[in-house]
Amino acid sequence: MKTATLTLLCLTALAPQAHASSPDAWAAYDKAVLASCTKASGLKNAKPVGTAAQFDDRVDYTALLMQGQYPQKHMKGQQGTELCLYNKKSKTAYVTEWDSIRPTAKTQ
């Protein structure tokens, strides 16, 4: 009986480590976030700005800032910035324009 209890305690102690994500799993996740956000953005030549912000599991979102050119003809290739929120559970990306994050040019 003591051996079974000791074995159970050891397995319980190791359980959290078994659920930890590997570097390969994180790399695959980051790749999925980038692909989903790039597709959802609609920007031409969309690229991430910095690295993704990983929110706590209680929130279930990852945020990624994307930059590229607006595809609309009237925008004449103007640079655009969008914030992408990636839902971890549904694996869906949602974007919104966020050009206000960039500093405005000073006029003299």
Convert the pLDDT of each residue in 31-48 to its tens digit: 999 999 999 999 999 999
- Domain membership of residue 19 (yes or no) is no
Mind giving me the DSSP string for 71-91? -SGGGTT-EEEEEEEEETTTT
Confidence of residue 15 (pLDDT cuts 50, 70, 90): very low
- Domain membership of residue 82 (yes or no) is yes
Give the integer Cα–Cα distance in Å for 21 and 50.
Answer: 22
- Domain membership of residue 16 (yes or no) is no
- Domain membership of residue 59 (yes or no) is yes
Stated pTM of the model: 0.73
- Number of domains making up the chain: 1
- Domain with 92, as residue range(s), is 43-102
Instruction: Copy the structure tokens of residue 87.
Output: 């839902």
- Domain membership of residue 34 (yes or no) is no
Confidence of residue 64 (pLDDT cuts 50, 70, 90): very high
